[in-house]
Structures are given as structure tokens and as C-alpha cells.
Structure 1
Amino acid sequence: MSDSSFLNWPFFEERHRVLAAALEGWCASHLPVDHSDVDAACKGLVAALGAAGFLQPSGAGAGEKLDVRSLCLIRETLARHDALADFSFAMQGLGMGAVSLFGTEEQRLWLEKTRAGKAIAAFALTEPGSGSDVANTATLAEKVEGGYRLSGEKTYISNGGIADVYVIFARTGEAPGARGLSAFLMPADVAGLTIAERIEVIAPHPLARLKLEGVFLPESALIGKAGEGFKLAMSVLDVFRSTVGAAALGMARRALDEALARVQARKIQGEPLANLQMVQGHLADMALKVDAAALLVYRAAWTKDQGAARVSREAAMAKLYATEAAQEVIDAALQLHGGDGVRHGMKVEELYRDIRALRIYEGASDVQRVVIARTILGEAR
């Protein structure tokens, strides 16, 4: 059983402790799932999480606010048990984040479906020529009678190929660069949208390259105002970036648990590995990184929940430190397992593959460093 004493920190309320306990019980009965068919596993996880009510915090209806602490607790817990379950939950939130924050009443009908686990969401921002550089988005949305016609490509789109609805960003041209982007709600069955490629990665989950050829979307598909897509995307990432750190934290906690079990059971020269001071030093470093990551993640979540308009600095710090520290903790856990650590089917080997993408998506680590530096320089001026 992982350490849960952090739930007594002042960041949390009783409802968060109740949520954590309920989800822990659900995870013990339902996770991990079979990953042999990733598409089927993700569809099943979304449906099961929705039926159990755990997708409700992934979105916010009219008059509601996203509870970032709940989002982080859910992601941490799911990631500790099964990274694919965390992914399935996270994409319901990220995919519908723009609708939660800026959507119309009509658009929120999709939000009701994704929160119930009856539809799968996706967030289509990245392109072949623009990852971290969102301002370089090339997909075009031409204004036509009754709406917009979209053409272009998106790539590395999570849930690509299994999503029922996409939030997609395209250039509408109100101004150069970032100020000329808009966001749209796009059902997966629109004419002109094709799955050009399914992308296989180090830790399998549904990823695809999308091709848009003259996709027509009515004016009602526009989320927020035309030309404010970049601001909208950054507002969504401002909320959900902390939750990536939470997922990394969950993986790090699991790695520490696996390491603790290993060094107490494995013997060298008749003594448990845990008796070696060198091993104890590794364990101490791992525990320190886990707690430091938790403090940064839940500080960012708490700050947003207290009503802060933006938490770019706090969220960037949380994501950067938690993902980098988790990579180090998992690597140390694998090392303590010796040869078994790189054996396929071992949990630490699985975690080693699972953690790597978190240092890239929703803003790579070096992008987070830029965000932090620009924020503190701005404050200094």
C-alpha cells in the first residue's frame, strides 16, 4: 500500500480524502487491464470509469468549476495502478477542457457524454511542423457561408482513431502567429476527416495522424471567439499541466513501492539488500523526490482551485520537476531490480517505458524551463 499520509496536508479537504479512498478501492478491483488490444482497453476503461462516476471531475458543466486537486488525485491514483487507465481518464479532461472553460450550452452536450463515459474525446493541437511552437500552426480554417472549411494535418493526437469528438485548432487569420488561431469542436464522423496513420510508440496507447480535406464545420462549432484559440489552448494547458505532474507522481510512488518490496525480499550474501547503506541512500533520494514532486503538484492544483486566474509558473514547475524526478526514481527502482528490471513483464520495466512521454507532451521539459524563466524575469522587472 502506497503512502497516503500526504492526504492530510492542508491542500486537501475531506471530500478529496473520500474521493481518494473510493478510487483506490475501485482500482484494486478493476486494474490493471489487459493491454494486448490498446483500443479496446481504452474504450473499456472510459466506459468503466464513467459508469463508476470517476469521470465527472474531468469536466465542468455550466456554473461549475474544474476541481484541479481532484483531477490530480485521480491521475496520481490511476497512474500508480495502470498508466493506460490514467491516459483514458486524462484525455476525457484535456479533450473537453476547452468546452469546460469556454463552451456553449450546445457544445456542452458532448461534455455530458464524455463525463458519463459514453463518448471519447481528443485534443488536436500538434502538427507535423508545430509541436511546442503552437504559433506555427498551419491547419487552415477558411470562413465560408454558414461556417468554416478546414484543411491540414494533425499528428501525435492521443485517442486519434477511437475518439468520437475532437477539439481542433486551426488558423483563421485574424492576425499573424498565435493571434490568428481558433478552436473548433469537430465530431469524428465529419466528411473529409481521415486517420492517415496510426502511430506506435514506446508505451502503447492510441495515437494517430489526422488528415483534414475540406472538412466543413458550422459556426456553432467555434469554441470561444475567433482568433482566441491560442489563449484558449494555453488556458486549458494551464489547468491540465499540473495533472501531468500528478500522473508522473503516481508512477514514481509505484516505483518506490516496487523498490522497497524488492530490496527487502532480495538477499545478497545472506542479507537483505535493504541492509546495505548504498541501497538505503538510493531509497532516501527516491522518497525525497516523491515528496518534493507531490508538494509542487498539489501547490499548483490548490493555487488554481483558490481562484488564481493563471498558474503558469506553478504548473510549469510541477510538471517539470515531477516528470523529471519520476524518470530518476523509476530508473533507480529498475537498477535495484538488477537484471530483472529490464525483463519484459516486470512492473518497473513497464514504468520505465510509461514515464518517458510525460517529459514531452503538454509542453516538453525545456519548454517548462522557458515558461518558468520568463515568469520570474517578468516578476523581477
Structure 2
Amino acid sequence: MADQSFLNWPFFDQEHRDWAAQVEAVAAGLNVDHSDTDAACRKLVADLGRAGILQPTGACDSGESLDVRKLCLSREILARHDGLADFAFAMQGLGTGAISLFGTDAQKAAWLPKTRSGAAIAAFALTEPQSGSDVANSTMTAVRDGDDYVLNGEKTWISNGGIADVYTLIARTGEAPGAKGLSAFVVTPDLAGFEVVERLETIAPHPLATLRFTDVRIPASAMIGAPGQGFRIAMSVLDVFRSTVAAAALGFARRALDEALVRVTERHVQGAPLFDLQMVQGHIADMALDVDAAALLVYRAAWTKDSGAARVTREAAMAKLFSTEAAQVVIDKAVQLFGGEGVRSGAMVEKLYREIRALRIYEGASDVQRVVIARQAMMAMEGKS
């Protein structure tokens, strides 16, 4: 049984402890068939929706806000049980985050009940081939034409690309150069000119794709927020969900630690448990330390946002950077402690090793987070934060 003592930290209310128990019960009962990734994701979204676990991924009412602690707890627990389950949950929130935070009542009513119930799959179409983490350099265009906008361009590395029912998309509307000339839209895949160009395979299989938009016509009412607010909307969404990436990494690390503890207890070397070796104890201590340090950063960021902070750029960046980097180290140590069994295809620690690598890249690579943290530190010194 994974450590639950962190739930008694002052970051959490009783409703969060109750929620964690509910997610744990559902996650423990999941039986994920990984032979068909698309089918597995569709089933996971449906099953999680039916169990009520997707409710925190959207905020339907004007007075409702996203509970970041529930989002983080959900991702940590799901990731500890199954990486694809975490992915399915996460994308329901990230894909509709802009609608929750900035959407009209009509947009919320049209999509959030569906994504929270598992009836529709969501995606966030942000990355482009030439821009990567440099969102302000996006070149996909949305040109006004009467009561419509016409979309042209490509998006790539889009999670749930090819299986999503609704996409939140960022495109250049040209109100100003750079970041100030982007806008956000709700797009569906049934539109003429929408094309899945390529499905992308990765070391930990997830549904990913490159999308092409050729003269795709959408109504002006599909815009989220106001013209030119797209960059701000995208950054606000990442500000919320970046902490949840850290939580997923924490879940992977916690599972690796649990697996390692069992291994060093059951595996005997020269007639004694592997754990009796002082060097092994040192590895276990370092792993436990990294897990708790990551948890403190994750739930500080989530608590700060839930307490009313307008932005948690610094806290979220610190949580994401430390947790993903530390989880990579924790999992690597677990693989080492397992020896040859640690690299056997299909072994739990081998799967964790493949799962964790992408988290140090997506939603802001580790070096990007370092830049963000350094700039936030400078702003704090200058009294601008």
C-alpha cells in the first residue's frame, strides 16, 4: 500500500482525503488492455466518467472553479496505478481548460457535461512544428471572413489527436505581433478541411498526432475569450495544469519506490535481504526523500492556486521541474535495484522508465522551467511579482 500520510498535511481538507479514497478505489479496479492504445483511452475516459472521477476536470457554472488539489490527487493516484489512465484523465482537463476558465456559458454547456461524464474526449491543440515551447511563435492562422474564421496551418504532438471529439486550438488572428496576436477557438474534427496527417508513436504509447487545417471554416462564436487573448488563455491553462504534470510524475515515482521496497525485502543476496546492504538503504533513503520533496512542491502549488492566487507561475514551474527530474532519478534507481529484471519488457519499473521521460518535455521542458523560475526570482528581487 502506497504511503498515505501526506494526506494529513495541512494542504488538504477532508473533502480532498475523501476524494483521494474514491479515486484510489476506482484506480485499483481498473483493468487496462494496452494492446490497442486508442481503444484503451476511449474505454478509460468512459469508465472514469461513469465512476464520477472526471468531475474535477471541468468547471461548468460561473461560480465554480477548478480544484487543483483534486486534479493533482487524481493524477498522482492514477499514474501510480496506470500511466494511460493518468493520460486519459489529464487530457479531459487540459483539453477543456480554456473553456472552463474563459468559455462562454454556451461553450461550457455544450462541452463540459460531455467531457466530465466521459461522453466526449478532449484535446489541446497548441504545439506547432516550428514553435515547440515558443507559443508566441505560432504561425497557424485564423482569418476573419464575415461571421466565420478560416483556419490554416498545422499542429503537432497533439495528445488525443485523432480520437478527440473537441479540440481547444490556438491560432494567429493578427491583432498584434507575437503573443498578442493569438486567439483561442473550439474546434471539432468533423469540419471540412480537418485532417489527421500522422499518428505519432512514442516510447510510452499514447494517442498523439499531427493535425492539418486547410480552409477550415468555424463560426466566430467558436472563439474562446476575446481576439488576441489566446496566449494569455493558453498560459493560464498551463498555469493550472502544469502542477498536475508534476503530480503524475510524483505518482510514477511513488510506485517506483513501492516496487523497490518490495524488491529489496524479497530479494536475498548472500543469505540476507538486499535491504541489509547499506548502499541499498542509501538509495531507498534518497528515493523517499525525493518523493516527499516532490509532494511538498506539488501540493504547495495546488494549494496556493486553490487559495485564490491569480497565477502560480513560479510555484507550478518549480513543482514541474523538480518532480519530473526527481521522478526520473527515483525510477532509474528502482530499475537498478531490480537488476536484469528491471529492464525486462513489461516489468512495472521498465514501464515506469518509459512513462516518465516525456513528462520532462511536455507542457514546458525542464530547461524552459528553469528560465521561468529564474525570471520569477529576478522579478521578485525587483519587486515586480
Q: TM-score higher than 0.5 here?
A: yes
Q: Could you tell me how far apart the structure 1 residues matched to 2:91 and 2:197 are?
A: 21
What does residue 53 of structure 1 align with? 52
Identical pairs, percent: 70
Compute the TM-score of the two structures, normalised by the length of structure 2: 0.98
AA aligned to 2:43 is G
Q: Could you tell me how far apart the structure 2 residues matched to 1:22 and 1:135 are?
A: 40
What does residue 40 of structure 2 align with? 41
AA aligned to 2:297 is L
What does residue 69 of structure 2 align with? 69
SS of aligned partner of 2:114: helix
Q: Could you tell me how far apart the structure 1 residues matched to 2:202 and 2:66 are?
A: 31
Q: Could you tell me how far apart the structure 1 residues matched to 2:165 and 2:47 are?
A: 17
1:370 counterpart = 2:374: no
Following superposition, the deviation at residue 345 of structure 1 comes to 1.1
Query: After superposition, where does 1:1-381 map in structure 2 within 5 Å?
Result: 1-31=1-31, 33-62=32-61, 63-108=63-108, 109-381=110-382
Q: Could you tell me how far apart the structure 2 residues matched to 1:29 and 1:143 are?
A: 49
SS of aligned partner of 2:105: coil
Q: Could you tell me how far apart the structure 1 residues matched to 2:228 and 2:30 are?
A: 43
Following superposition, the deviation at residue 113 of structure 1 comes to 0.5
AA aligned to 1:104 is T
Following superposition, the deviation at residue 272 of structure 1 comes to 0.7
Following superposition, the deviation at residue 83 of structure 1 comes to 0.4
5+ residue gaps, structure 2: none
Following superposition, the deviation at residue 198 of structure 1 comes to 0.3
SS of aligned partner of 2:237: helix
Following superposition, the deviation at residue 188 of structure 1 comes to 1.4
AA aligned to 1:39 is D
Q: Could you tell me how far apart the structure 2 residues matched to 1:266 and 1:362 are?
A: 38
Following superposition, the deviation at residue 42 of structure 1 comes to 0.2
Following superposition, the deviation at residue 61 of structure 1 comes to 1.1
Q: Could you tell me how far apart the structure 1 residues matched to 2:225 and 2:37 are?
A: 33
SS of aligned partner of 2:227: coil
Following superposition, the deviation at residue 106 of structure 1 comes to 1.4
SS of aligned partner of 2:211: strand
Following superposition, the deviation at residue 379 of structure 1 comes to 1.0
Q: Could you tell me how far apart the structure 2 residues matched to 1:29 and 1:228 are?
A: 42
Q: Could you tell me how far apart the structure 2 residues matched to 1:111 and 1:61 are?
A: 6
Q: Deviations 1:327-355 (Å, cap 9, x if unpaired)?
A: 00000000000011000010000000000
SS of aligned partner of 1:190: coil
Q: Deviations 1:2-58 (Å, cap 9, x if unpaired)?
A: 000000000000001111111111111124x11100000000000000000000000
Q: Deviations 1:209-244 (Å, cap 9, x if unpaired)?
A: 000000001011000000010000000000000000
Q: Deviations 1:251-301 (Å, cap 9, x if unpaired)?
A: 000000000000111111111100000000000000000000000000000
Following superposition, the deviation at residue 150 of structure 1 comes to 0.3
AA aligned to 1:34 is D
Q: Could you tell me how far apart the structure 2 residues matched to 1:275 and 1:215 are?
A: 64
AA aligned to 1:228 is Q
Q: Could you tell me how far apart the structure 2 residues matched to 1:189 and 1:165 are?
A: 10
AA aligned to 1:27 is A
Q: Could you tell me how far apart the structure 1 residues matched to 2:29 and 2:130 are?
A: 43
Q: Could you tell me how far apart the structure 1 residues matched to 2:2 and 2:188 are?
A: 40
AA aligned to 1:47 is A
Moved over 4 A (4+): none
